Structure 1
């Protein structure tokens, strides 16, 4: 199944890469999907850790696009350049726009952390991805919008990747 196939009216959890591809104009499929969420056709849900990942990655992308960091390991370069970080604003606007797009943002609980450890053990997913699956389970959401095909090995999760991108 592809992102375009998310059924109308259904809840779907949204991974960070969908937002990043949208804000960087890398994927018409992600753009169309998030427009469906904004119109209320699909009930988009994400979590605070996903928004933190989006903010982090968009900050780096903004710094690169503005030519403020170059070379390998841009996150490390930014960490050593607080004067550059203070100049960055677009990533904040993009991140704060997500709830205004009709996307519900769920907080994460300690119980989600505990549940994510069992998910990680069973699936081999990394920490943040396992947390995403644990939050989905708590919310009883089985559909996931993500370009990360690692989620295809998670039982009970229906993955909807964008047809024009894969992580």
Structure 2
């Protein structure tokens, strides 16, 4: 059973899933406060925080979509994506996603690369534990970097033995 983010001990090394970062950057999320507190622990240096380049790209993409939805220019995510593809001028007008990389740097989040070996190793987690591609890549990077803790709100990761899953709380 997963435990809350607050149960991550000082000095721990933690991988951040996209949902935790999206909650941290979305003040209206019920999980915002607990995810911001996690990033603040990283900024103070009491935790070593990591994510991957693919997770970061996903967070930036979601931030663009959420900003367009918040502006009322679309009602659903798929509609927002279609509109952004049709209207590059709207992409150029978006602002929130632009500060995310700076925010991650301020929280001392290290963005790890993906390698061919990670792509190959991730196959095991899809075939043996039924994870989707992006989730399997997170596990592959965690194993490569020997990162024990995963901050996520995706309980699919519980199917992988040996991961210390910590979830956000309201």
TM-score, normalised relative to structure 2: 0.91
**Residue pairs, 1:24-103, within 5 angstroms:** 24-25=26-27, 26=29, 27-71=32-76, 73=78, 74-103=80-109
Distance 2:26 2:100 in 1: 10
Distance 1:151 1:161 in 2: 11
**Cα distance per residue 1:27-71 (max 9 Å; x no partner):** 211111111111111111111001000000011001111223334
Distance 1:160 1:57 in 2: 22
Where has structure 1 moved over 3 Å in runs of 4 or more?
none
Specify which of 12, 15, 40 is matched with residue 13 of structure 1: 15
Q: Per-residue deviation at 1:76?
A: 2.1
What RMSD, in angstroms, separates the aligned Cα atoms of the two structures? 1.3
- SS of 1:45 mapped into structure 2: strand
Distance 1:32 1:91 in 2: 20
- SS of 2:93 mapped into structure 1: coil
How many pairs align?
A: 164
Match of 2:123 in 1: 117
2:69–2:76 Cα contact (<8 Å) kept:
no
- SS of 1:86 mapped into structure 2: helix
Distance 2:64 2:101 in 1: 10
Specify which of 4, 10, 22 is matched with residue 6 of structure 2: 4
Distance 1:35 1:89 in 2: 23
Distance 1:72 1:36 in 2: 31
**Which runs of 5 or more residues in structure 1 are unaligned?**
none
**Cα distance per residue 1:94-117 (max 9 Å; x no partner):** 233212311111111110000011
TM-score, normalised relative to structure 1: 0.93
